[in-house]
Structure 1
Amino acid sequence: MSKIIITCAVTGSIHTPSMSPYLPITPEQIAEHALAAAEAGAAILHLHARDPDDGRPSADPAHFMTFLPRLKQATDAVLNLTTGGSAVMTLEDRLAAPKRVEPEMCSLNMGTMNFALYPAAERISDWKYDWEKPFLENSDDLVFKNTPRDIARILTEVGQERGARFEFECYDVSHLYMLKHFVDRGLVRAPLFIQFVFGVLGGIGADPENLMHMKRIADKLFGEDYAFSVLAAGRHQMPLATLAATLGGHVRVGLEDSLMISRGELARSNAEQVTKIRRIVEDLGREVASPEDARAMLGLKGADRTAI
């Protein structure tokens, strides 16, 4: 099997500050968590920004630039910026930072979908900030918009015009077929890095048989031209990542995807999750990829060609 790429999704836009005291929300916290994750073995850092005053998800390039220069100076890990941002953001908002930063890599959601977070609100009684409860509860009427026109725009403005490669986030089988559509249109070229996403309410469930099915369909559609990685939400994070590693895939962990390190125990850092999955995959006989390995495997342009 090839070397295994560990991605760490440091903060995201799903979890809110009241869910965990360890969720990084300030620039200093995001940078410290990211650097520790890279030191622990993450070759790719998947990055969102937050408003440091209240932890609200932010698309403001100024908020990204409070931590990106420090990361570029202190680590050679691949800096992967979100184009998904938050489901409540406009596409203009979501593209502002990637267009300003011109990163090596961006995430790209491959379809419009329900994105339901509201069950999480039922588990919290003590809220730190006023925005959190309505942010979660109102997701029962939320559509995360990623139309073919949106996807084509991201591929063109961030990919073709600025040289970024993509972590194609596929939340269901239909998203694989949408990706194949853009390969056929010539807007996407190999090698593809596909992130199978499981356990978000509105996407495919976090069942092992669903992972096997997603891989079968991806094999049929893309042959040898792709690599897959797996992220699973919440308690499914480590089991499905372990299965992915046994199948020759790559893995993603981080506090964006799960706040826990084990049942009933909050993770105190992103690095704690990276350390755990690294131990698991190395025990399975997989060799962890370095950032330079990841760049070579995914055909990235190099950190020196970004605008950070």
Structure 2
Amino acid sequence: MQDTIIITCAITGAGPLSDNPAQPITPRQIAESGLEAAAAGAAILHVHVREPKTGQFSGELALYEEAVGLIREQNKDVILNLTTGLGSGFYPADPMLPIEAGPETHIWTPEKRVEHVLKLKPEICTLDLVTAQVFGGVVISLEPVLIRMAELVRAAGVKPEIELFDAGDAVLAKHLIKKGALDGPGMYSFVMGLNFTMPADTETMMYIRNLLPDGAQWQGFGIGRNQYPMAVQSALLGGHVRVGMEDNVYISKGVFSKSNAEQVLKARRLVEDLGPAIATPAQARKILGLAVQAI
């Protein structure tokens, strides 16, 4: 277990909108919820945006500009981590003959997937290595696309957080490091308990951790009811912690979270009761090898 543990708050995500009325939707709601989470102890804010009228996921640059701008106006210290996971979803028109894309498909060029990252230059962005069945479709991450995305964000001075959804993703990460597309040892997130990806349990977390390059920084986090058990498990096994309404909209069984800050405070209590301190943004930068100060 590390002496100092970083808490990331994943503010809203891109999955189907929940029934929790506190889940942030508009850029202002996302920014305000993130700022509250940062005040509660989150050193990193993981940012998606949603279409304000429908609540559906969005890749619109203007929405990212508004949300990020509002956060930076009030808190220049917190570390921002923008998603690049959109633009990889294939939903076949006919699931029994999946050769034609249906209307929900969103397959974008690498350039479009990182457009907001190149413009806004957060310190971190995600790089999802997953190819798997998710939310009724298939998320596709082909090697040439990942290499191009990695080249673009590296040129922008942004460090990728490598998201792993299964064991093969860790093998792919090491392959991309060997090819020079990614810098090692890297920092990683294990997405656990989502549909047909890696299960959320201790054995799996240990196995994926042991596949990483020596010296890697990582966090394992659980989806839904697995959120808090996996937060504690990650801390115990030497990782960092992620919570937030992207992954789970409950604070306890059957009780909706009132805010992302409430989740961060719960995670903070759990970690501090184990003994480690909670990292400030400055400490998190040092741990992760980021620049000394945010933009």
Which residue pairs with 1:6 in the alignment? 7
Distance 1:34 1:241 in 2: 19
Cα RMSD of the aligned pairs, angstroms, is: 1.5
Which residue pairs with 1:236 in the alignment? 226
Note the alpha carbon deviations across 1:192-244, whole angstroms, 9 max, x for none. 111011011121111221112112222xxx11x20110111000000011011
Q: How does 1:123-272 map to 2 (within 5 A)?
A: 139=136, 142-159=137-154, 161-218=155-212, 222-223=213-214, 225-272=215-262
Which residue pairs with 2:46 in the alignment? 46
Which residue pairs with 2:84 in the alignment? 83
**Which residue identity does 1:279 align to in structure 2?**
R
Note the alpha carbon deviations across 1:137-172, whole angstroms, 9 max, x for none. xx2xx111111111101100112x101101111011
Name which of structure 1's ranges 171-180 and 95-104 shifts more when overlaid on structure 2: 95-104
Structure 2, gaps ≥5 residues long: 90-104
Which residue pairs with 2:100 in the alignment? none
Note the alpha carbon deviations across 1:236-284, whole angstroms, 9 max, x for none. 0000110111112101000000011111111111111100000000000
* Contact 2:9-2:260 within 8 A present in 1 as well: yes
**1:303 shift after superposition:** 5.6
Identity of counterpart residues, as a percentage? 38
Which residue pairs with 1:129 in the alignment? none
**Which residue identity does 1:272 align to in structure 2?**
E
**1:64 shift after superposition:** 0.7
Describe the shift of the 1:269–1:15 C-alpha distance in structure 2 as closer, same or farther (beyond 3 A).
farther
* Contact 1:49-1:64 within 8 A present in 2 as well: yes
* Contact 1:113-1:143 within 8 A present in 2 as well: yes
Which residue pairs with 1:123 in the alignment? none
SS in 2 for 1:66: helix
**Which residue identity does 2:144 align to in structure 1?**
R
More helix per residue? 1
* Contact 2:79-2:294 within 8 A present in 1 as well: no
SS in 1 for 2:160: strand
Distance 1:202 1:48 in 2: 22
TM-score (norm 1): 0.86
Distance 2:210 2:182 in 1: 20
**Which residue identity does 2:24 align to in structure 1?**
P
Distance 2:242 2:107 in 1: 26
Structure 1, gaps ≥5 residues long: 117-138
**1:81 shift after superposition:** 0.3
Distance 2:292 2:53 in 1: 33
